[in-house]
Amino acid sequence: EPFIKDSPSGEIVVNEANFVRKCISAESCQDDLWGKLVCTNFKVSFITHNSLPRQRFQCTHRLLGEHDIPLACVEQVVTVNDVKGKQKILGSNQKLKFNPTELILYCKDFRIIRFRFDEAGPESAKKVCLAIAHYSHPADPQLLFGFEYVGKRYHGSTGERMNGIDPGGGMQTTLFDCSSDWDREIKRTGASEWRVCTINQGYFISPSLPEFFVVPVSLADQDLKQYACFFYSQRIPLWCWNHSSGSALVRMSNISDPQQQRKVEQRISSAITKSHPLRSDVFKSDLDKNLPNIQDIQAALLKLRQICVIDPFEESEEKWLSSLESSRWMEYVRTFLRHAVEVVYMLESRNVPVILLEKEDRDLSCVISCLVQLMCDPHCRSLHGFQGLIQKEWVMAGHRFLDRCNHLKKNDKEESPVFLLFLDCVWQLWNQYPAAFEFTEVYLTVLGDSMWVPIFSTFLFNCPRQRAENSRFGVCKMFECFLKSLMFTKAWDWSQQFSLKDQTLFNNPLYVGKIATCVQNGTVKTFTHRRSKKNYSSTLRGLPSALRNGSLGPNDTLARRNSLVLRLRSDLSQVREQQETPSERFIRDFFSRPVDLQGLLLPQLLPSHLSVWKLYFLRWVPEAQIPQGGPITAFHKLSVLTDEIDMLQNQLRQYKGAGGTPNNLHAEHSKMYFKATSTPHQPPAPPEYLSSSFPFSPVGNLCRPGILGSPLSKFLNGAKIWLSTETLANETI
């Protein structure tokens, strides 16, 4: 049985230690919490009856408590004996030759959690450390907690949930796991010259492709079967999306047979050209040549973690900003956004089909195809449209979530935060055009965290076939073999993690959808947003073209690593010398017009236009927290205002006899987390618990400045954090 009342079904206690101290403050131990450290088959849990000092609000997670860490989120388990001056990074099935006085958990979500065993029994302390190390390094996917969870919760149930929500619960997220989902997408985008292909049913052609996908009408199934063997992993080209002009966005793996490359490429390109109304030639974009690879992205994240978690945090210091730039994470975010803009230019301005080329078509193409659709298609900027986009371009297209998240911690070379990089790119777009997105940055943050809660099939497997194979298991009973189905939950079923109240934090009060309501002459009406005919250039007038574009010239290569000031100076000098290209003119024209939030969106791309995603990367850093400040204060006021408008419109509908929600039930049906009061002329004051980290709290995470001179600081200063276990094992302080 579960060890606590509200623990997930299937969770069991593996080991525990009493009289453990969780370090809360680095300045002193008076604020530390005493309790029991528990390792289960799902998480590391700290059970205490003490309360945190200066308690701050947190989103209440239905699977994880305030002091819980999912085992899949644990990056490294470090044991320390500060008396003997020893420390060791523990892996699975390793021995520990000394009694630990301290345990430090480095987490993939940038947390550092520290426990002390001063009063705990030495053997129980050692056993709980070894248990955490062992269970955070499962040897097989079926040892991940997701299998226990779905086995207990979903076995024998039918129709409980579909597409991530309860049946009849309203709009659903499209999963693209059946032919009808693809048919609807073809009709939605007007791709009349494309059709659903079923030759991969049963994963007969390619193990990493979905059973259903879209191909040109002019390509017969027999031809596709013949060409499949020439592509890497038999991955036939996949249709992603159609522009309103008829230009298609297609993703394709490399052709493995050089002798057949020219013939097969011509045949595929010819079929795509025939699908275009103007028979335009195809433009090929080689992602492997123009974008950083997965190892580059992983190296950048490791450096970013070091900067955000270990190094002294002073955002105003040039040294910290220089270190941030040297990590190259922001540079890579900008590079992916810029490449997506170039693809948009080909589709939007040149009106030609585009093929995204990548060796295996399972990493970089996922990012670019999604960013292009987010920039061009307002449907993808709605909540369900965005989730459907991830289903289509990541989950069903075979992104290796199991390997890239390194859930089994078997191969560090395969680990890469490609999906997190994508979310950062989305956040940059959101940050520049917040009213164009239905969701908030809180939603993007918890979506990134959902990768480390290993119960969702969304982020648990490498491809659709692996999901299908692991959804069935054999049970032998009374000499009869039965195949029983496991119904894995999807990440889009947010009720698994959050209450309906907390889910309203996902709703953006600024969002401008296709159709919005207004009150005109006492009547509730709807209006559709249209682009104004006026021509504005605002603050961009008078600047060099490339600066107005937010884009640099082609000579601005990926390898440049000079400082921000020098970068801007060199940009200015280059811009004056270079003649404006057609793509730069396209971008300049876009920024010379008022933005249509239900139309095309292009990001500003100069380094000064991009920001650090603080809510994700710096939420656990106490020094970076702004009490009663940050974007949340504006979010609070906008939410209250939006709720007040909704309340008044509802009252007007009731007055006109057009229905509406009774006043006493308005709060229950409100889409806003922060609600208006019953007396609109007295708006509610911002809650005291608001801070720039809301709804997360940095309390209880390792603070750095106060530990200088301590044995722990000597360890941290000398440690190569988040490198291989072999590199760090058995080093001394």
Annotated binding site: 293-294
Which secondary-structure segment (H or E) carries 573?
Answer: helix 564-577
Three-class SS state of 522: coil
**C-alpha span between 120 and 22 (Å, rounded):** 12
Q: Which residues of 383-398 are buried (b: 16+ CB within 10 A; e: fewer)?
A: bbbbbbbbbbbbbbbb
Residue 565 exposed, middle or buried by CB count within 10 Å (0-12, 13-18, 19+):
exposed
Write out the E strands in 132-275. 194-197, 213-216, 238-242, 248-253
> Contact 60/499 with Cβ under 8 angstroms?
yes
CB-based contact 214:237 (threshold 8 Å): no
Enumerate the known binding-site residues for substrate: 293-294
The sign of the torsion formed by the CA atoms of 632, 635, 641, 647 equals: negative
Tell which residue, 39, 43, 35, has the closest CA to residue 8: 43
Token code pair at residue 85 = 């001056």
Inter-residue contact 390 to 443 (CB < 8 Å): no
CA distance to 128, 279, 311, 530, 581, per residue, from 306 (Å): 27, 51, 6, 46, 39
Q: CB–CB of 551/587 below 8 Å? A: yes
CB proximity list for 461: less than 8 A, separation 6 or greater: 141, 401, 402, 467, 470
Cα angle value 694/498/48 (rounded, 5°):
75
Per DSSP bridges, beta strands 523-528 and 74-81 are: unpaired
**Quick count: other Cβ atoms within 10 Å of Cβ 561?**
10
232-264 as b/e: b if 16+ CB within 10 A: bbbbbbbbbbbbebbbbbbbbbbbeeeeeeeeb
Q: Do 554 and 574 form a contact (C-beta atoms < 8 A)?
A: no
By the 10 Å C-beta count (0-12 exposed, 13-18 middle, 19+ buried), 596 is classed as middle
Residue 276: both structure tokens together: 């275009």
Cα 107 versus chain centre, distance: 16
- The two counts, helices (H) then strands (E), for the chain are 24, 18
